[in-house]
Each structure stands twice: as structure tokens, then as C-alpha cells.
Structure 1
Amino acid sequence: MSIGNSPEDERPFQFVSDSEEARTSVGRALKDARIAAGLTVDDVSGATRVRIAIVHAIEADDFTPCGGDVYARGHIRTLARAVRLDPAPLIEQFDADHGGRPAPTPAAPLFEAERIRPERRGPNWTAAMVAAIVAVIGFVAFTAFKGGGDGGGATDQVAQGGAPSGKSASPTPKKSKPAAEKPAPADSAIAAAPQDKVTVQVSAPNGRSWISAKDHNGRMLFDGLLKKGESKTFQDSSKINLILGDAGAIKLYVNGKKIEDDFQPGAVERLTYTKGDPEVG
């Protein structure tokens, strides 16, 4: 009987670095970014069309409800953009934690060119018949033109370059009309807003932003991403409720008047506009 360390005592010590212990998980990073943006789970679910239960599960690092790694990557990418995070590092971290992406399936080999033999085709009788018909029509037209040239003096005069009698009317140059100037956003449909309704135009000239618009009954008029250069116009009988995900990228026109604001880039703003002069609720 030998005295010494047991096999369990001889196993190598596994060192875990502080960076691995302190590394933020994918779900935690998405949750922290959402809270920093001032958004609720309902706001993110409405903006991305991802169900509330799946948003909660992903923020808890449970990707089982996603239905597979492919769908999980898509949900991570969508949620990251909604809370203004770069999705690439999160996707890389997800792949590292779940075994990486599957290897691509190799494409089937192409057939060798020398094995493909052209098919032998017979004579094209259709093309031959068309050519014969064209030749006959051309001969008939030439004969008719030659026969009518003997009694047509006016035709000979025109063919030889002589000008026919009478004054030829010179074409009158047409004056090009100047192109009508396109009206500015405040001068177009928004300027003709009816007085008995509230009309709100939201445009994104400086960048893109997620927006949500509801009428006075709480009915959703729009809920999605407004890309750079796009605009949306909403109208209701009494009130429009807005949520701007990035208010610094948005310009507002209410009842035909531009709203002079000092919204900061990345700021989330909740606004309410009614009939009459622009007035933030």
C-alpha cells in the first residue's frame, strides 16, 4: 500500500481570469442598453415585432424560445439595433458560447466543359421561309415604285432636291417652360392642414430613428423605423401621441408650423400635440 496523493489531488488547477468572470453576457448587454435608452420591454417589442416573452428570455440568456441558432442570431441583431448597439460583437460572443457557426455546405462540382457536347440541329426551315417572303415583298415594292415614277413629276422634283412651289412654313421654336419649384415640406400638404384636426409631420433629415404614433383613442398609427430622408404624416380629430427613439434626428411640423426644439442626439422623447397652435403636451 503506497502513501501519497490520490488521483483527484493530482488534477491540474484550472485558472479562470477576472476578464472571463466579468464578461457581460449577450442578454445582459442588451438589457443594460435598453435601460440606458429609456425603453421598456414593450417599447422594444413593438419596435422590432419580437414577442415580449422572447425579449425577456433573451435578456435572461435563454435562447431556447428563439427556435434555433439561426433565429437567435436574427433576434439578437434586431434587438441590438433597436437599443443602438453594434450587433457584430454580440453575434461573435453568441457563436463562441454556442459552438460557432456551422460549416458551409460545399457546392456541387461543375460539369467539365469537354463532356458537354452540342446538340446537332437540323436546317431552320422557318427562317428560310421568312427570308423568301421578305424577298418577294421587296421585289413587288420595287416594281410598283419604278412604274409610278413615269407620271409623277412632283415626285421627281422632290427626289431631285427641287423645292416645291409655295412658301414652306419654318417651324416655330417652342419656348421651354421653367420647371416649377417643388414646395418645401411645410408648404405642401402640411400647410393645408384642416383647422378642425391636428396634423403632425415627422421627418428624419439627419439620420434614422424609431418612432411610434397613436391617435386619441390609443390606436397605433405607425410603429417602426423611420430611415434617413423619409417622412410620415399623421392626422387625428383631437390628439397625436408620439414616441421618438432618437429625437435629435427628427424634424417636426405641427399644423403647418415647424417645431423649434433642442432635442439631443440619442434622446428618447414622448410628445403629445393637439389642435390649434403647436403645443407640447
Structure 2
Amino acid sequence: MSIGNSPEDDRPPIEDDGPSIGRALQQARIAAGLTVDEVSSITRVRIPIVHAIEQDDFSRCGGDVYARGHIRTFAQAVHLDPTPLVARYDAAHGGRPAPTPAAPLFEAERIRPEPRRPNWTAAMVAAIVVVVGFVGFTMFSGGDKGKGGTSVAEGPAQQKLPSASALPPKPPAPKPTPSDSAIAAVPADKVTVKVTAINDKSWISAKDHNGKMLFDGLLQKGDAQTFQDGQQVDLILGNAGAIELYVNGKKIDSKFEDGQVERLSYTKGDPQAG
């Protein structure tokens, strides 16, 4: 008696046309110059799970939904398109579950309002009020015509004031000359860094001189964050080309490229990249 293959052995193997999901994410992370700790800080995915994903072990993600989410955020942090990676995960794990059809909604019967009839009583009352008012106005104006004109007591002639157009124009107020202190309105005893996402979104990480995390997250286009410390502010810009920097009130003119990861440090005084 021969033993046949199980149904699972009859399934066609998944074609391997490139590196695995974990290997692709690991290569992209290395190319972006990020460590596992930095990816964990950017994505808020725990370090052991990041290591497991790079080894194609998704059992620690807590289910397919969380695994897809971790793959997507991981790929975005290392500037990789998450769509083919998520599709490859779905192909290897049975695909996405079919959505549950919504229950049919019953439309309530609409009650057609009855046509409103004209209110003749209100119209008649309004007409009577108009007629009475017209008669009263006519009688009052006719009585005033028989009276003489009202005399006005003469007094000293009022002095005619010159019109506004005849007055000489006021000289324009002098414009203040901007100074460095007015432009850099920041405390001189601290380092102040303002980060603004002007072209696109970007992952930002900021720490003080003791290594304490001041901010760690994603700035959408148009968002801004300001950091301040008594000695030093350390920055990591995930997409430096989208960022505009002001340090101690002065704009940093460095030209960063899109997708470039920059590590910067700023102290008190004139801005200098660390």
C-alpha cells in the first residue's frame, strides 16, 4: 500500500524572484545608514521584532494585521516601497481575508408633505395695515404744510475747518533697520533649533546634551518643531532634503538631498554642524 502526498505538498511553490522581505528591508536599512536601534526609534517597533522581521520571522508581530503594519512602517523608514513587500507577505500567508458584506439598509418611507394653502387672512391684515399707515402719513404731512418755516437763531459764523484733502500729507514713518538681535530673537544662553518640513514628510529624532529624547516621530509637510537645550541639540533627519533648519535664529543654508539621512549637532553661538 503506497502512501500519497498530503494536500499541502501539492501546492505550487512560491516563486522567489528576489531577496526575501526581511533581506530586502535589511539591505535598505544598511543603505540608508540606519542602525536597528534607530529604525526601532523611528517606527516605534521593538528592537527584537525588528531583528525577527529581518530574519523573515513574523511570529513575534502578533498576527497578520500587525505584521503588515510593521512591514509597511519599516519600509517607509528606510525609503522603500512597501506595496510589493506587503503583497509578497500576503502571497506567502494566504492573502488578505475577504471583507464582511455590510447588512442591507432599509430606507425609511418618506412622507410627502401636504401642499400649503395660502393664508388669505394674514394677507388681508397686512393690506389694511399698509392702507392705515399711508392715510396717517398723508394727514401728518398735510398739516405741516400750513405752518410757517422754523426760524433759526443767528449766532457767530462758524469757522470753516479745512478739509482733510487740503491738509499736507504726513511724512511716512521711518522703517526700522533690522538687526541680528531682532532676527535671532532667541535666548543667548541656550541653543534653539527649529525644524520645518517644507517639501515632504520626514522622520525626525532630537536629543539634548544628556541623550534625553526631545522628539521622535514623523513631521508631515508644513509641520514644525522647536527644540531647546542649555548646551547641545543632536538631530537625525530621515529625509533631510525636505527639512528647513533655523539654529539660534539663523537659517542653515546647507543643501540636503531628498532621502538623505543627516546626523547633526548644534551648540550655542553661531550654528555649526557637528
Matched, 1:99 2:91: no
Write the letter of the residue equivalent to 2:137: G
CA distance in 2, matches of 1:267, 1:56: 23
Deviations 1:179-205 (A, max 9, x none): xxxxxxxx9x97312222211122233
CA distance in 1, matches of 2:88, 2:139: 93
Q: Contact 1:190 / 1:253 at 8 angstroms: preserved in 2?
A: no
Given candidates 42, 45, 62, the residue that maps to 2:40 is: 45
Matched, 1:257 2:245: no
Residues 252 and 139 (structure 1 numbering): CA distance in 2 closer, same or farther, change over 3 Å? same
| TM-score of the superposed pair, with normalisation by structure 1 | 0.67
Pairwise CA RMSD: 3.9
CA distance in 2, matches of 1:252, 1:120: 63
Given candidates 60, 68, 82, the residue that maps to 1:65 is: 60
Write the letter of the residue equivalent to 1:203: T
Matched, 1:220 2:226: no
Residues 146 and 68 (structure 1 numbering): CA distance in 2 closer, same or farther, change over 3 Å? same
Residues 231 and 118 (structure 1 numbering): CA distance in 2 closer, same or farther, change over 3 Å? closer
Q: Structure 1: state its 5+ residue gaps.
A: 1-5, 9-13, 155-171, 173-186
Given candidates 146, 149, 170, the residue that maps to 2:134 is: 146
TM-fit CA distance, 1:79: 1.1
Determine helix, strand or coil for the equivalent of 1:78.
helix
TM-fit CA distance, 1:20: 4.2
Matched, 1:275 2:268: yes
Identity among equivalent positions (%) equals 60
CA distance in 1, matches of 2:210, 2:267: 13
Aligned residues: 233
Determine helix, strand or coil for the equivalent of 1:31.
helix
Q: Contact 1:246 / 1:268 at 8 angstroms: preserved in 2?
A: yes
Q: Structure 2: state its 5+ residue gaps.
A: 4-9, 143-163, 165-179
Deviations 1:158-191 (A, max 9, x none): xxxxxxxxxxxxxx9xxxxxxxxxxxxxx9x973
Deviations 1:130-150 (A, max 9, x none): x69965874674355235313
Given candidates 205, 214, 229, the residue that maps to 1:236 is: 229
The residue aligned with 1:160 is none
Residues 140 and 214 (structure 1 numbering): CA distance in 2 closer, same or farther, change over 3 Å? farther
